[in-house]
């Protein structure tokens, strides 16, 4: 049943102390109190509309009354099994140096702000705390989670910390996607399911949603973990939607997953990579037997928890970038003969030796940052090809033993048990496709070929310039001249929610941006329909940068949601000849290959992608976006 049929909104406002049944105001206060009541009712009405729209978007309406009540929600408890609680404490001690640092209540941003209870005949009652955008989003989340529980039932009980985290992402994915769309619509944004699925980064523009996806500087481990769960829930839902619309999203909820690598790498989940099986080296087993330490626990840390742990030394984006390079991991916990000490031994596998080196360096820094300077007497990190071995003890150990132990781990072997692929085909995001295409760009002789932007150009006119291709995904190539002139070719994805390319608003924004960066400039902008691929925007400006007089010429054009900027900047006294050379090169511009996002995808109807780029996008997802400098 569509949510537009069969339900009605019932709005009840209850303030702390309550205005319902409160003391009758004096006559002079009547209008202000009534105004407050009316404003409160209006805000609850807005929340009810968002709640109802989140269900309507997926054609799973409530069939009964939607009641939004102002009050205090009751956040659910952790509900962890005894085995998970024990593992949580051990992982927390080994990685964070404190058994209580890692908590798994994971305030997901909605459970402490809204509570939903399904009633009879499809009714839904939501208790909402607060009035802001986060509260409206939380009400939609809580009701969507309750709706999914009604339709699909409860998820299986998780058997590990990593499995529990995976479940939180799966449970939140569909509600997160629907609630984000509903709130964006309420804020006047033209953001539909197809666009959000291709560009999940646009969720950061939705007020309220952006808050719950960002932990903030100095956030607790629990808050950082909650923000990460929300980001990955949106990313998972977007991937499933790209594959098969809402049917794909609901497949993920029904199928579920017991490991976080599936939810942070849906391309591997859909591809049937299967579970990793580790063979620990006999030499390492012999070391433990000789010491008579007892094996008391084993499992996997998983990429989700690893990412949060590394956020102590990396920003959130850099920490998340490990997902693309992640292969698998396994850990063991040993107890000393007297029972007073424990040792945590962790193996992880990465896609390339270089990535393993980068991650190992970050892990070493994280151990010190999380556990203090004394970590060196209790821990070791070593790179062994694609593997990283890490050991962490509750007490200081003999340095020779720590060194021998990690050496004995060098013979570890890893294999994957393949599974049947999912009935879905992974389709990369627009950004992933852009990055992958950008890596295929070529500067061969005097010919520039750029699959990401879909253009090729001869640079023969730049004779006498030093031309260099860049590995950066936005500045694609640049050229310098001995007189100080600089030419460059840059690309970026267009802003689908911003001003249309070439429009008056776009031109005004472009002028304003250049006026801020070039002192004393009054940019002149022209929009023409010349050239292949549609209109071009050209800008000319004179002014000063860092006290130096310069002239600048910029050309822009757009194809397949990729904006290309081609520019020259030169000293004011010699710009003429350089400008002529750069303009001559522009005359050789030609279309190259297919547009990154064809027109048929831009206007794609709700329901998911039937086509899209081939491949699983693993390379595009696997770019480590951090660099750890060696001391």
What percent of the chain stands above pLDDT 70?
A: 87
pLDDT tens digit sequence for 604-615: 544 444 333 333
CA-CA-CA-CA torsion sign (290, 292, 298, 300): negative
pLDDT value of position 79: 61
pLDDT value of position 625: 60
Q: How far apart are CA 560 and CA 471, in angstroms?
A: 21
Find the helix or strand (DSSP H, E) in which 431 lies: helix 430-438
Cα dihedral angle (201, 203, 207, 212), rounded to 10 degrees? -90
- 29 has pLDDT over 80: no
- 295 has pLDDT over 50: yes
Retrieve residue 293's tokens. 């330490």
Q: Quick one: which of 118, 139, 120 has its CA closest to 128? A: 139
Q: How far apart are CA 479 and CA 462, in angstroms?
A: 8
Q: How far apart are CA 35 and CA 31, in angstroms?
A: 6
pLDDT value of position 574: 65
pLDDT bracket for residue 70 (50, 70, 90): confident
Residue with tokens 């952006």: 210
- 329 has pLDDT over 50: yes
- 11 has pLDDT over 50: no
Between 623 and 353, residue with greater pLDDT: 353
pLDDT tens digit sequence for 555-587: 999 999 999 999 998 887 766 788 999 999 999
Q: How far apart are CA 418 and CA 276, in angstroms?
A: 9
- 456 has pLDDT over 70: yes
pLDDT bracket for residue 62 (50, 70, 90): confident
Over residues 30-48, the mean pLDDT reads 67
Among the ranges 24-33, 239-248, 549-558, 567-576, which has the highest mean pLDDT value? 239-248
pLDDT tens digit sequence for 493-518: 999 999 999 999 999 999 888 877 77
Between 227 and 110, residue with greater pLDDT: 227
pLDDT bracket for residue 530 (50, 70, 90): low
Ranges 1-5, 192-196, 241-245, 423-427: which has the least confidence: 1-5
Q: How far apart are CA 489 and CA 467, in angstroms?
A: 11
Residue with tokens 């608003």: 505
Among the ranges 14-18, 80-84, 124-128, 186-190, which has the highest mean pLDDT value? 186-190
- 73 has pLDDT over 70: no
pLDDT value of position 627: 55
Domains in the chain, CATH or no CATH each: 38-88+97-270 (no CATH), 281-411 (no CATH), 430-591 (3.40.1000.10)
pLDDT value of position 39: 76
pLDDT value of position 74: 61
pTM for the predicted model, two decimal places: 0.87
Q: How far apart are CA 410 and CA 386, in angstroms?
A: 10
Number of H helices, E strands in the chain: 20, 22
pLDDT bracket for residue 180 (50, 70, 90): very high
Q: How far apart are CA 209 and CA 30, in angstroms?
A: 36
Retrieve residue 173's tokens. 């994915």
pLDDT value of position 327: 96
Q: How far apart are CA 276 and CA 72, in angstroms?
A: 44
Cα dihedral angle (391, 397, 400, 406), rounded to 10 degrees? -10
pLDDT bracket for residue 27 (50, 70, 90): very low
Between 252 and 603, residue with greater pLDDT: 252
pLDDT bracket for residue 626 (50, 70, 90): low
Does residue 234 contact residue 213 with C-beta atoms inside 8 Å?
A: yes
Tell me how crowded residue 404 is: count the other CB atoms within 10 A of its CB: 14
pLDDT value of position 611: 36
Over residues 435-463, the mean pLDDT reads 95
Ranges 231-235, 526-530, 557-561: which has the least confidence: 526-530
pLDDT bracket for residue 14 (50, 70, 90): very low
- 547 has pLDDT over 50: yes
Residue length, the chain? 631
pLDDT value of position 610: 37
pLDDT bracket for residue 616 (50, 70, 90): very low
Q: Is 144 exposed, middle or buried (0-12, 13-18, 19+ CB in 10 A)?
A: buried
Ranges 15-29, 185-199, 377-391, 498-512: which has the least confidence: 15-29
- 13 has pLDDT over 50: no
Over residues 455-467, the mean pLDDT reads 95
pLDDT value of position 23: 35
Ranges 214-218, 330-334, 391-395, 406-410: which has the least confidence: 214-218
Residue with tokens 């006294």: 573
pLDDT value of position 19: 30
pLDDT tens digit sequence for 300-321: 999 999 999 999 898 888 888 9
């Amino acid at each position: 049943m569509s949510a537009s049929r069969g339900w009605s909104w019932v709005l009840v406002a209850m303030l702390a102390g309550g205005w319902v049944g409160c003391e009758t105001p004096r006559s002079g206060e009547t209008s202000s109190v009534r105004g407050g009541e009316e404003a409160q009712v209006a805000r609850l009405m807005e929340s009810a509309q968002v709640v109802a729209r989140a269900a309507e978007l997926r054609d799973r309406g409530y069939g009964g009354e939607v009641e939004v009540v102002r009050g205090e929600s009751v956040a659910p408890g952790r509900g962890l099994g005894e085995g998970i609680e024990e593992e949580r404490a051990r992982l927390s001690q080994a990685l964070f140096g404190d058994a209580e640092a890692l908590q798994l209540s994971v305030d997901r941003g909605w459970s402490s702000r809204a509570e939903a209870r399904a009633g009879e005949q499809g009714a839904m009652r939501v208790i909402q705390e607060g009035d802001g955008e986060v509260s409206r989003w939380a009400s939609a989340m809580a009701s969507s989670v309750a709706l999914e529980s009604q339709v699909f039932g409860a998820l299986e009980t998780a058997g590990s910390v990593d499995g529990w985290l995976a479940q939180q992402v799966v449970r939140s994915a569909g509600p997160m996607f629907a609630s984000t769309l509903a709130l964006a619509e309420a804020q006047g944004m033209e953001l539909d399911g197809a666009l959000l699925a291709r560009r999940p980064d646009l969720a950061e523009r939705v007020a309220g949603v952006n808050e719950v996806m960002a932990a903030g500087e100095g956030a607790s481990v629990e808050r950082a973990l909650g923000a990460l769960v929300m980001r990955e829930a949106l990313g998972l839902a977007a991937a499933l939607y790209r594959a098969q619309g809402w049917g794909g999203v609901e497949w993920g909820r029904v199928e579920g997953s017991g490991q976080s690598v599936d939810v942070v790498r849906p391309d591997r989940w859909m591809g049937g990579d299967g579970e990793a099986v580790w063979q620990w080296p006999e030499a390492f087993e012999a070391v433990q037997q000789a010491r008579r330490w007892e094996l008391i626990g084993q499992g996997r840390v998983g990429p989700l928890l690893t990412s949060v742990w590394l956020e102590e030394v990396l920003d959130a984006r850099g920490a998340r970038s490990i997902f693309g390079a992640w292969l698998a991991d396994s850990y063991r916990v040993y107890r000393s003969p007297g029972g007073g000490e424990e040792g945590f031994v962790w193996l992880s596998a990465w896609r390339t030796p270089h990535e393993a080196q980068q991650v190992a360096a970050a892990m070493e820094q994280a151990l010190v940052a999380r556990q203090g300077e004394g970590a060196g007497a209790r821990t070791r990190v070593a790179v062994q090809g694609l593997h990283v071995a890490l050991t962490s003890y509750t007490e200081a150990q003999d340095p020779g033993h720590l060194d021998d132990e990690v050496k004995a781990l060098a013979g570890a072997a890893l294999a994957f048990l393949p599974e049947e692929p999912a009935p879905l085909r992974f389709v990369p995001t627009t950004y992933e496709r852009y990055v992958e295409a950008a890596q295929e760009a070529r500067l061969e002789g005097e010919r520039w070929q750029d699959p990401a932007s879909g253009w090729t150009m001869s640079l023969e006119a730049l004779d006498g310039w030093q031309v260099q291709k860049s590995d950066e995904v936005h500045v694609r190539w640049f050229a310098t001249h001995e007189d100080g002139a600089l030419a460059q070719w840059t690309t970026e994805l267009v802003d689908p929610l911003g001003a249309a390319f070439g429009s008056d608003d776009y031109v005004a924004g472009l002028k304003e941006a250049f006026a801020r960066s070039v002192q004393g400039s009054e940019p002149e902008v022209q929009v023409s329909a010349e050239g292949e691929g549609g209109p071009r925007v050209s800008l000319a400006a004179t002014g000063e940068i860092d006290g130096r007089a310069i002239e600048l010429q910029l050309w822009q054009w757009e194809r397949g949601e990729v904006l290309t900027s081609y520019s020259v900047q030169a000293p004011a006294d010699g710009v003429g000849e350089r400008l002529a050379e750069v303009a001559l090169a522009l005359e050789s511009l030609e279309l190259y290959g297919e547009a990154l996002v064809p027109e048929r995808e831009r206007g794609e109807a709700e329901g998911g992608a039937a086509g899209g780029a081939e491949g699983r996008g693993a390379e595009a997802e696997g770019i480590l976006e951090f660099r750890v400098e060696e001391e």
